[in-house]
Amino acid sequence: MSTHSIAVIAGDGIGKEVVPAAITCLERIAGIHGLNLAFTYFDWGSDYYGRNGRMMPADGLDQLARHDAIFLGAVGSPEVPDTESLWGLLIPIRREFQQYINLRPVRTLDGVTSPLASDKPIDILIVRENNEGEYSEVGGRMYRGLPHETAVQETIFTRLGVSRAAHFAASLAASRQGRLTSATKSNGIIHTMPFWDEVIEETARQYPGVTVTHELVDALAAHLVLKPWTLDVIVASNLLGDILSDLGSAVTGSIGVAPSANLNPEGDFPSLFEPVHGSAPDIAGKGLANPVGQIWSGAMMLEHLGHPDAAAHLQSAFESALRDGHSTRDVGGTSSTSEFTAAVLTAIDAHA
Ligand code: ATP
Ligand code: MG
């Protein structure tokens, strides 16, 4: 029996609802496919911050390092500054564990209506560089309170950082339609962005059958809304990738269905799987949350752990539940979180 130890951080708000829902599904799948998933729960996040003044304990990263994967709901609450949840938990995890790829599938699903007029299927993989770029600590504030007060924030791209993201994206493109679109802004950002373009170009050239298009991010944002079905794999820097992938989840119907994987592709460190959405305090505790983004993230985790059949089984189960008309309110249905989850469990058994 294949055993994996998984660290679970349900976190805040609807994280506490969608994580248990997804774990029920993962346990059912594990039983059918002979996997032993050992879940260890960590109560980190905003409540923990309220009690301890930090999002996770000082040795939090050491505790997580002992696991094969991390399954996260959402962290953040109106009482805690956003920078705390980001810099006190998510960014340290991404950096310490070299999760330099943030992979976000953007796909239309039967049963989830896209706000776009067209019903052409959308199937895009967005590869966001996750360790460097615009999210840097280099910079500062000068002349506080004075009329010439100034803030400086440096963007850092390294050859290693950009090329490993490019390799990942180009090899994905090679396994699909071979079309790699790189988000750029090298007309305005004249040092870092041309370097990004160059390294992407050089790297992608090593992949026969892959063509690269450099698209200005403003035009690419419009492209994502007007003709998303013509896109295959997108590679983008930390900030641009974040914006494009939220836009991507919106054009396919709901932020509630979008999954993500923060990957250390080499497997030297645990990777982290979480839905794109946040803690959604506006609907938390009401049983309204859509668990699809979390369940789909669970399928990505199974795939990463080397169980493509179990991943495909889970994937087909939630897709068939949606196709059969089960869905939560954010995508136009009437199911509660637990009713939808029950429909997924039924579909898992039906496809076993
Ligand atoms: P955070 O600060 O943690 O990012 P947020 O307030 O930005 O939280 P998001 O979770 O990003 O909230 O959600 C934005 C909007 O989408 C909210 O109105 C929320 O209710 C809705 N939403 C997000 N996730 C889901 C979900 N899984 N199911 C239903 N609605 C959702
Ligand atoms: Mg948010």
246/118 same-domain check? yes
85/34 same-domain check? yes
What values do phi and psi take at 125, rounded to 5?
-115, 125
Which ligand is nearest to the Cα of residue 276, counting in written order?
Answer: 1
pLDDT over 90 at 151, yes or no = yes
281/322 same-domain check? yes
CB neighbours of 82 closer than 8 A, spacing ≥ 6? 76
Q: Is the residue at 7 inside a domain?
A: yes
Catalytic residues: 143, 185, 218, 242, 246
For β-strands 69-74 and 211-216, DSSP reports them as unpaired
CA dist., res. 253 & res. 115, Å (int): 6
Neighbour-count burial for 222-233, b at 16+ CB within 10 Å, e otherwise: ebbeeebeebbb
Residue 352's pLDDT is 81
Number of domains present in the structure of the chain: 2
- 113 confidence band (pLDDT: 50, 70, 90): confident
Q: Is the residue at 106 inside a domain?
A: no
Q: Is the residue at 49 inside a domain?
A: yes
Residue 13 CA: which ligand 1 atom is closest? 3
242/278 same-domain check? no
Provide the 10 A C-beta neighbour count for residue 65.
14
CA of residue 112 to ligand 2 center, whole Å: 21
88/203 same-domain check? no
Q: Is the residue at 128 inside a domain?
A: yes
Q: Tell me the HSE value of 56 on the side-chain side, using a 13 A CA sphere.
A: 25
Ligand 1 within 6 A of 80 CB?
no
Q: Is the residue at 4 inside a domain?
A: yes
211/291 same-domain check? no
Domain end position, chosen among 210, 227, 252:
252
The DSSP letter of residue 227 is -
Residue 291's pLDDT is 98
CA of residue 278 to ligand 2 center, whole Å: 5
Ligand 1 within 6 A of 228 CB?
no
CA dist., res. 16 & res. 255, Å (int): 17
159/66 same-domain check? no
213/325 same-domain check? no
Would you state the structure tokens that stand for residue 6, as one six-digit string? Answer: 């998984």
Q: Which of 204, 186, 73 is nearest to 127 (CA)?
A: 204
CA dist., res. 213 & res. 184, Å (int): 10
ipTM: 0.93
118/87 same-domain check? no
For β-strands 69-74 and 271-275, DSSP reports them as parallel
Ligand 1 within 6 A of 255 CB?
yes
CB 107 within 8 A of CB 252: yes
Residue with the nearest Cα to atom 7 of ligand 1? Answer: 278
Residue 12's pLDDT is 96
Domain end position, chosen among 232, 252, 272:
252
190/129 same-domain check? yes
3-state class (DSSP) for residue 222: helix
Would you state the structure tokens that stand for residue 276, as one six-digit string? Answer: 């794109």
CB 69 within 8 A of CB 40: no
Q: Is the residue at 349 inside a domain?
A: yes
Domain end position, chosen among 220, 252, 284:
252
Percentage of the chain lying above the pLDDT 90 cut: 92
Residue with the nearest Cα to atom 13 of ligand 1? Answer: 280
Q: Is 183 exposed, middle or buried (0-12, 13-18, 19+ CB in 10 A)?
A: buried
Q: Is the residue at 296 inside a domain?
A: yes
From start to end of the chain, where are the E strands?
2-11, 35-41, 69-74, 101-107, 123-129, 139-142, 150-153, 179-184, 211-216, 233-236, 259-263, 271-275
Neighbour-count burial for 149-160, b at 16+ CB within 10 Å, e otherwise: eeeeeebebeee
Query: What does the pLDDT look like over 26-64, one tens digit per residue?
Result: 999 999 999 999 999 999 999 999 999 999 999 999 999
Which of 87, 246, 255 is the pocket-test mutation for ligand 1 (most atoms within 8 Å of CB)? 255
pLDDT over 90 at 139, yes or no = yes
pTM: 0.94
Q: What one-letter code names the amino acid at 248?
A: G
118/231 same-domain check? yes
CA dist., res. 131 & res. 136, Å (int): 9
CA of residue 294 to ligand 1 center, whole Å: 13
189/90 same-domain check? no
Residue with the nearest Cα to atom 15 of ligand 1? Answer: 280
Q: Is the residue at 109 inside a domain?
A: no
Which residues on neighbouring strands pair with residue 156, listed in sequence order? Answer: 133
Ligand 1 within 6 A of 274 CB?
no
Domain that holds residue 218: 114-252
Which ligand is nearest to the Cα of residue 333, counting in written order?
Answer: 1
Residue with the nearest Cα to atom 3 of ligand 1? Answer: 278
Residue 276 CA: which ligand 1 atom is closest? 11
For β-strands 150-153 and 139-142, DSSP reports them as antiparallel
* CATH number, domain containing residue 171: 3.40.718.10
Residue 279 CA: which ligand 1 atom is closest? 3
Residue 33's pLDDT is 97
Residue 115's pLDDT is 87
